[in-house]
Amino acid sequence: MKAIIQRVMKASVTVGDEVVGSIGRGLCVLVGISRYDTPKEMEYIVRKVLNLRLFDDDGGKRWAKNVMDKQFEVLCVSQFTLCVTLKGNKPDFHEAMGPDLSQQMYQEFLKQLGAAYSPDKVQDE
């Protein structure tokens, strides 16, 4: 399981003309699930997303607070392309988990993230 985590002032996901997920200040997390991932990897990523100290404290000390300390939001986006292998000029996505299983695992990831933090602070696409 891979995650790209970015601090944001606000973030949203739009499909066509419809906004399907949006947050204010917090983290935007792109999540890639490989075919070898287990609940153990998921628990690790949940823990890291919520506990990484990416924000300043009220005194201006850098890298002192995590998303939960600041009561910020998290927007997650499923991104199978994080599991790419480049072979010449053609991308190979065989390492990505198949759509049915990855959908189940992604939903479980969101559930665990919400349970460990707050379901109303966690959005997805």
Identified catalytic residue from 72, 80, 109, 123? 80
| Assigned token pair, 102 | 């990855």
Q: How far is CA 66 from CA 4, 5, 51, in A?
A: 16, 12, 5
Identified catalytic residue from 55, 72, 79, 109? 79
39-51 vs 99-116: helix axis angle to the nearest 10?
40
Is residue 107 part of the annotated active site? The answer reads no
Is residue 81 part of the annotated active site? The answer reads yes
Distance CA 125, CA 116 (A): 19
What H or E segment, with its residue span, contains residue 46?
A: helix 39-51
Identified catalytic residue from 6, 14, 71, 81? 81
Classify each residue of 104-125 as buried b or exposed e, where b means 16 or more C-beta atoms within 10 Å of its C-beta. Answer: ebbeebbebbbeebeeebbbbe
Is residue 79 part of the annotated active site? The answer reads yes
Annotated catalytic residues are 79-81
